[in-house]
Amino acid sequence: MKKFYVLFGLSVFTLVIGLLLGKYLENFRGINPYYAIGKMISWGFVLSSPLISLITLLFVFFTEKDKQPNFIWKILISLPLLSFIFIFTASIVKSI
């Protein structure tokens, strides 16, 4: 079960680092030539967080059949994935 804690922490860590890096890089927009590279790295962190969350959720469902974690833990694991789905859905609805 401890490996799931590590993957959950990695998922949240990549999401937070990606968002902070993106916010920090806005100060250098148009000034620094590394802005585009930094934004790509930031988006890579942000978009890899739901992927790590999905992998963790699949590990929990398929490897720990005898001792399933409680519902709250499953929601916490899927939080980055759910936030990504919510933001994606909201942006599609707004564009219609």
What are 40-86's pLDDT values in tens digits?
Answer: 999 999 889 888 888 888 887 777 666 666 777 778 878 888 888 88
Q: Which helix (H) or strand (E) holds 69?
A: none
Average pLDDT, the chain: 83
Contacts of 3 (CB under 8 A, 6+ apart): 59
Per the structure, the complete domain to which residue 29 belongs is given by 2-95
Question: 48, 61, 55, 58: which is closest to 21 by C-alpha?
Answer: 48
The domain total for the chain is 1
3-state SS assignment for residue 19: helix
